[in-house]
Structure 1
Amino acid sequence: MIKESVLLESPSLRSSVLDRTDVLDRVKALSLLPDGMHVTTAMVATYFEVSHKAIESLVFDHRKELAASGYRVLAGTELTSFKEVSGIQSRSRALALYSRRAVLNAAMLLRDSEVARQVRVYLLDMEYLARTQPVDNVAPTAPDGLDARIEQRITHILGKTVVPMFNALITTSGEHRRELLELREDIENVERRLCWHHKRLATLEGEAPTENVRSTLKAMTWQAFEQHVAELLRRDGCTDVVVRQARSDRGIDITGRTADGRTVAVQCKNRSGRWTVPSADMQKFAGATCAIDRVDLALFVATCNFSHESQAIADLTGVVTVNREEVEAWTAGVRLKALR
């Protein structure tokens, strides 16, 4: 079994277990800000029972790694908008925020915290059990839980390793490009089927994850929804993600870069019921991304569906539409295909 001290020295090992944020609450309850997604430096220090300065020193030494896992500093209009959404009362001109992944990342870096050490030990215990559980000798009373863990792990490997590998091969290939494209499509179909199967299994067991995600999205204000989409972009490897939340955004709510360097512009619409995205909104966004602020990837993300006219405009101008069902799957953990 791997010793917990190895996590302190291995960036690749830390990266491989960043999705296991449930471990944090199993060791000790982690209080979150009202947005339900972030904590401040003071809250991180309280959780790990260390000084505020110790966390600041950790960020100074490992800022790039923590930023990749969700650490960021808000300032200016972005900070003002976040205060309005979250209800935070602060006169500071800048505010450091940590996602749950960033807090878990910090736990794998803090040497002088007993809580962090317990997180590392528990994390590696769970990872060890997941990797070494004998499939053929599973007790007949609970096969579904193991099947779900195996499916989730396979899905994670397909999305995070196999598909990116094919992307790299396709980029550099010549003669076999067509065959590689077809094979990648087959792999992505397997990934989608596993995600769908897992969702059906969870629903049959009474978890109803889709309904939970749907109700969470429905309860969001438009400002909170934009912050939520920005967090999903960061989770999927995007950098330089900025939420504009300004009147003069010309239909562009979020900007950033994909993991492979493409520029991204996002329009968000948080609507419910039978409301659909009208063609006028799509025309405005398409014009901004194609003519005014030319970008490599334009995403229109909505918690509803798109009208036939708006979808036709999107297809004509190259805008990628993300409808309600796709937003729910994205929120539930499925990586957005356009960001690969």
Structure 2
Amino acid sequence: MLTEVALLESRALRVEQMGRVDALDKVKGLVMLPDGIHVRTEDVARYFGVSTGAVKKLVQRHRAEMEENGLKLLRGADLRTFHGDMLSLWSGEEGQSYPQAATQLTLYTRRTVLNVAMLLRDSDIARCVRTYLLDAENELRAGYVSLDRRVTRVESCLAGVGTALQELGPVLDRMSYRLDSLDRRLDATNQVVGAISVRLCDMADDIVRIDTRMDDMAQGLKDLRRRRHRC
């Protein structure tokens, strides 16, 4: 079973959970910058209810990991371009100006914030996010175990079916042989019927010829009788 301590200590386990950014909104709403993609250090600190210093120290200790999950540091031209894009999207309350960093700006994505949640120890919100992740993961693993058991039972049933099919094999072979024999006998019968049909056609022709000859003979007898009658 996955535990909170394991999640805090194992980078590999954290990597496995990086797709679960939905956990953030399940626990608390995360206020994003106007682009809907990034948040600042202040926003991250506000979300977790800690100081910005605590977030910055965490980033310093795990910068490489967080950069893999979207952490960016903007300066110079990149920073000016970013602020220009944000200003074009800004729709804050009347009289409220878009906050611009003077020289540099650290940006976090949802993945980065989730990364912070799996590392930040002294935050009730971070613990709630970890609890949500752990519960979902353990439920998923329990589902896998249940599915594995069902697959095992199905495999056992299929093994019995395989044995039955092996026993049925000789019977099917005998039935196949008998069917082949019946096919051969039907072929022979069809040949006999065909030959009889030909003979019957020939007999019909013979009968027609006999009828013709009988008619000729009858006509001849009639002619003979008429000649005798004249005499």
TM bracket, shorter-chain basis: 0.5 to 0.7
Q: For each residue in 1:127-157, what CA deviation from the matched residue of structure 2 results, as whole angstroms up to 9, or x when unmatched?
A: 121232134899xxxxxxxxxxxxxxxxxxx
SS at match of 2:42: helix
Q: Does 1:129 align with 2:139?
A: yes
Task: Select the structure that is richer in strand.
Answer: 1
Moved over 3 A (4+): 134-138
SS at match of 1:55: helix
Q: Normalization by structure 2: what TM-score?
A: 0.57
Pick one of 103, 121, 126 that aligns with 1:111.
121
Aligned position for 1:74:
74
Alignment gaps of 5+ in structure 2: 88-97, 151-231
Q: Which amino acid aligns with 1:105?
A: N
Q: Which amino acid aligns with 1:9?
A: E
Identity over aligned pairs, percent: 47
Q: Does 1:94 align with 2:104?
A: yes
Aligned position for 1:49:
49
How far 1:124 sits from its partner (Å)?
Answer: 1.1
- Matches of 1:71 and 1:136, distance apart in 2: 39
Aligned position for 2:28:
28
- Matches of 2:16 and 2:131, distance apart in 1: 15
Q: 1:80/1:3 Cα in 2 relative to 1: closer, same or farther (>3 Å)? A: same
Q: For each residue in 1:274-316, what CA deviation from the matched residue of structure 2 results, as whole angstroms up to 9, or x when unmatched?
A: xxxxxxxxxxxxxxxxxxxxxxxxxxxxxxxxxxxxxxxxxxx
Q: Which amino acid aligns with 1:38?
A: H
2:75 and 2:104 in contact (8 A); partners too: yes
SS at match of 2:62: helix
Q: For each residue in 1:95-130, what CA deviation from the matched residue of structure 2 results, as whole angstroms up to 9, or x when unmatched?
A: 000000000000111011111011111111111212
Aligned position for 2:65:
65
Q: Normalization by structure 1: what TM-score?
A: 0.39
- Matches of 1:41 and 1:77, distance apart in 2: 20
- Matches of 2:31 and 2:24, distance apart in 1: 10
Alignment gaps of 5+ in structure 1: 139-340
Q: For each residue in 1:233-288, what CA deviation from the matched residue of structure 2 results, as whole angstroms up to 9, or x when unmatched?
A: xxxxxxxxxxxxxxxxxxxxxxxxxxxxxxxxxxxxxxxxxxxxxxxxxxxxxxxx
Q: Which amino acid aligns with 1:34?
A: P
User: May I ask how many residue pairs the two structures share in their alignment?
Assistant: 138
Aligned position for 2:83:
83
Q: How does 1:125-274 map to 2 (within 5 A)?
A: 125-133=135-143, 134-135=146-147
- Matches of 1:20 and 1:120, distance apart in 2: 11
SS at match of 1:35: coil
- Matches of 2:85 and 2:32, distance apart in 1: 14
- Matches of 2:3 and 2:149, distance apart in 1: 26
